[in-house]
Amino acid sequence: MGFVTLKDVAKVAGVSYATVSRALSGSPEIGESTRKRVVRICEEMGYTPNSVARSMVMKRTNIIGLIVTSIDNPFMSEMTAHLEIYARQCGYNLMVCNSSYNLDLEKEVFSLLMGRKVDGIIMIPVGSESHETLKTFTAQVPTVFIGENMIDLPENYVSVDNATGMQQATEYLYSLGHRRILYLGARDNSMTHQLRLDGYLNACKKHGIEPSIIRNTSARSSFQIGYALAKQHFEQPFSETAILCAADTLAIGVIQAAYEKGIRIPDDLSLMGFDNISFSALPPIDLTTVNQPKQELAVSAMDMLLNRIRKPDAPHTKTILSPSLVIRNSCRAIED
């Protein structure tokens, strides 16, 4: 690493290296003429400040740790894109880690990021147990959870109103005439999933329809899981006219299973998802779903984190954004 340092510049400019530092940091206590000269010499010599050394003395790195369960999940990669761009605008870089849906790994990378002295952490947690396994950590470094509700927990989070979103989804199907709606993919290890299920159950109760649920006992919502659950369901005759999925990824798996069985969507079966990942908009998929405003989530989370970095002892905060129905062509009206 033979790079140019402040000292080198100082030597050439014939000033002390404190002066060079001041010239670059835009300090007011320096003569305009020296500043200009020093800045020019810095450029000529190709000097770039060493962020590591700066972090050392400033006691902040301007790095945000981002922990996601899996970066190649479309919802998360979209969130990451928004986060990275906004974070950079705010003067921060992102250090990204996959927890791979594993609580131990999640803890490990969290601790790793702490050792790297990131100024804060934004994370999509593995599930509701994450709070428990991470609480000694989240008490030590500003942390914001994103996309996941941490209700009644001493954590900061930004998410959508999942219950209301799923209730609206259910009622949309109801309004189309559906009375037998299967809810597919409820996961036990996630408060968010619990809330979505609640939304569905509320709507059922309100309209006097019988709930019917297929649970997802795995820790993740993937195409494969959606496919497997639907495939099993389709093996026996079923009476539901619509399937409401806990996530778009699951719904896309359902499409696959339906396709193999010759079940046409929406002709034979209506289908809805949740999240509105970009692929759901593609015509061969064309999935009616509930949108999570990803950019707003990202911006809110970053702003919230910045606030906490400034005031680490402020009380915990949450931001709940509104989801919205996105009507495409995977549902049809039916007559009784």
Applying CB under 7 A, which of residues 11, 43, 44, 56 lies at the interface with DNA?
A: 56
Nearer to its own copies, 55 or 291 (CB): 55
What is the DSSP pairing of strand 120-123 with strand 143-146? parallel
- Residue 177 contact partner, candidates its own copies, DNA, none, CB within 5 to 8 A by sort of partner: none
Q: How far is the CB of 116 from DNA (least distance, A)?
A: 12
63 binds its own copies (CB under 8 A): yes
Q: How far is the CB of 91 from DNA (least distance, A)?
A: 13
Q: How far is the CB of 71 from its own copies (least distance, A)?
A: 5
Site for its own copies in 3-22 (CB under 8 A): 3
- Residue 58 contact partner, candidates DNA, its own copies, none, CB within 5 to 8 A by sort of partner: DNA
Applying CB under 8 A, which of residues 70, 212, 319, 324 lies at the interface with its own copies?
A: 70
139 binds its own copies (CB under 8 A): no
Stretch of 57-65, 72-80, 138-146, 160-168 contacting DNA, by CB under 7 A: 57-65
Q: How far apart are CA 104 and CA 119, in angstroms?
A: 22
Applying CB under 8 A, which of residues 16, 25, 89, 140 lies at the interface with its own copies?
A: 140
- Residue 313 contact partner, candidates its own copies, DNA, none, CB within 5 to 8 A by sort of partner: none
- For DNA (CB under 7 A), the number of binding residues is 30
- Residue 57 contact partner, candidates its own copies, DNA, none, CB within 5 to 8 A by sort of partner: DNA
Query: Site residues (CB under 7 A) for DNA?
Result: 1, 3, 5-7, 14-19, 21-22, 24-25, 29-35, 49-50, 53-54, 56-59
